[in-house]
Amino acid sequence: MPLERLARLGHRTLLGAMAFAILAQGVSATESAASTAIPVVLTETDSGWQLLRGGENYFIKGAGGDADIEALAALGANSLRLWGADDIGDTLDAAHAAGLSVTVGIWLGHERHGFDYSDEQMVADQLARVRETVIEYRDHPALLIWSLGNEMEGFEAGDNPKIWNAVNEAAALVKQLDPHHPTMTVTAEIGGERVRYVHEVCDAIDIHGINSYGGAPSLAERLDAAGATKPYILTEFGPRGAWEAPQTSWGAALEPTSSEKADHYAIAYQRAIASQPGRALGGYAFTWGHKVEATDTWFGMLLRDGALLASSDRMQEIWSGKPAAYPAPSISPIELSTSSELKPGSTLTATVDIDAAVELEWVLYPETADYLTGGDYRPALIAVDDAIVDAQENRARVRVPDEPGFYRLAVYARDGNGKAATANVPIRVLGEHAAVQFPVYVFEDEFAGMPWAPSGWMGDTESLELSVTNDGGAHSGARALKVRYEGLFGWAAVAWQHPANDWGELPGGFDLTGAGKLQLWARGEYGGERVKFGVGLLEADRPYPDSTIREITDIVLTDQWTRYEIPLNKQDLSQIKTGFVFALEGRRTPVTFYLDRIRYVR
């Protein structure tokens, strides 16, 4: 894919042990005159491993995320987990005030985001950021554990020795800078060579953090079989992941209801944590907040508006030993009056059973086919307009779109007391995708109603923001797109896709035969910003590729609106699944630019 083959940036230098020594010298944690840190010690006794915090046994009862720290503490939790350490001072203060400790994550680069562990300068720059983070926060009383990386080994065998050397080097530096808090690294499950590298090779890593969903109930047995020797923390657990769930005949993952998910949290906790004293040091339920991943509701323990779901009730009972005084509603799976595969424009009736007085919200979303996100950021799903014809009591009449494709009908039940329940069901609208009339807009004032969704995020997505704004004025209309990238290196890109989040596994796209060019307006915040623009991304090796791939490169923006065009004459435009894509490179200072009036014209 041309726009995914951006160079992995950075100069190569020979730093190695010399760099480590420079980073560590003269900054021992013992020299901090005003330290208020609570020391944490990992110790092994006759009965196994345990954490001592301030000299007292400390078993982690926590969740990942910082959505509402006081509410988390009120449920009986004693800790929260962060994945990164950018600007976390206020979060640490709030956690400490609420009586919670914090496992502080120090993000380590992912190869799929463009990080190159063969690039010695990249690795050295990363090590320098580790040093800065530890020095900044090592004395905070909320600090519990330093967590080096999250799934940085990737999702295959996890056996790149250069990655593990960098992890161990970072952990060794942390220990030298702060001997008062243990080190941990977090892996995606334990397959491949992960156990060997964490337990045998990385001698500076004290604790193995493990993200495990469907596999959590068998985790302890599998660790035994792999020869694990170090203690572990279940750093992410909850319902089975979308990649582990049953599927429809067309490959859509079947999401459990919020009530069913609560049982998965309890089972994972019992079998991987509670039943493993002296070995499991506790766990962090995933996730304390709202997160779009696979669907709008798959993993969050809260809704977008902060309402608590049944998983929060179940974890409260586990953490505090007391059931919720006002439990979340219990909800059944959605039942449809027809087959879930329908003709365009058809109507159906959806019914759900609830055990409490609630207000129901029914929503039809375009389906995502991107179930293997690796936790990467995904934008909020955009509801299909006018799909809910009528809704009364526990049922809704739904008209599916005229446009063939894949959708998901969701229901949100709120009880008015801050508790909620969710259920959803995949729906397929039969037929082939249709041609459209010109001009065809990729963006004009809003994301909503546009043919393609900006769902294909690539590269260093953690450093990228995409928003609709009127800052600085639009070229035409009321608003423009604002792109801001804060990565110090690497690259990022966003593709407008149809269906949303599909990378060529599902039918879709539009027949744009007759288009002469893609036309757009762009400007930089200051000028000098380097970008690429393109049409199409999916090559012929995909089941459903783009019928053409075109791009314009080496664009240097000015601070004035400028029109750019991608010629499309004599191109096969019969199936454009990726309506637009931009890519940019980091340049050690934030990169900001604006886009407007992106459209296909004859």
pLDDT for position 102: 98
Mean pLDDT is lowest, of 147-151, 242-246, 446-450, for 446-450
pLDDT (tens digit, 9 = 90+) per residue, 150-170?
999 998 899 999 999 999 999
Q: Dump pLDDT digits (tens) for 345-399.
A: 999 999 999 998 899 999 999 886 555 556 666 666 778 888 999 999 999 999 9
Do 85 and 130 contact (CB within 8 A), yes or no? no
- Judge residue 262's burial from the number of C-beta atoms within 10 Å of its C-beta, 0-12 exposed, 13-18 middle, 19 or more buried: buried
Q: State the pLDDT at residue 447.
A: 65
How many percent of the chain have pLDDT more than 70?
90
On the question of pLDDT at 7 being above 80, the answer is no
Q: What are phi and psi of 600, to 5 degrees?
A: -95, 130
Mapped onto helix, strand or coil, the DSSP state of residue 489 is: coil
DSSP letter at 418 equals S
Closest CA to 81 of 108, 109, 106, 102: 102
pLDDT band at 195, cuts 50/70/90? very high
Contact criterion met (CB below 8 Å) for 151 and 374: yes
Q: Characterize 544-581 residue by residue with b for buried, 16 or more Cβ atoms within 10 angstroms of its Cβ, and e for exposed.
A: bbbbbbbbeeebebeeebeebebebeebebebbbbbbb
pLDDT given for residue 474 in this prediction: 84
Question: Which residues 6+ apart lie within 8 Å of 339 measured at CB?
Answer: none
The encoded tokens of residue 323 equal 């059931």
Per-residue confidence (pLDDT) for residue 440, from 0 to 100: 87
Average the pLDDT over 520-529 and give the result.
93
Q: Which two tokens stand for residue 91?
A: 């979060």
Neighbours of 323 (CB within 10 A): 10
Q: Helix, strand, or coil here: 272?
A: helix
Look at residue 27 and tell me whether its pLDDT is greater than 90.
no
441 pLDDT above the threshold of 60: yes
pLDDT value at position 405?
Answer: 84
Place of tokens 């049953």: 246
- The answer to whether 299 and 239 have CB atoms below 8 angstroms apart is yes
* Strand-pair partners of 75: none
Over residues 237-246, mean pLDDT: 94
CB 126 within 8 A of CB 116: no
DSSP 8-state code for residue 197? I
Distance of alpha carbon 179 from the chain centroid = 31
Q: What is the mean pLDDT of the chain?
A: 89
Please name which of 565, 568, 536 lies closest in space to residue 552, comparing C-alpha atoms.
565
Q: What is the pLDDT of residue 115?
A: 85
Higher pLDDT, 531 or 601: 531
Instruction: Output the six-digit token pair for 111.
Output: 């190869």
Residue of 18 and 67 predicted with greater confidence: 67
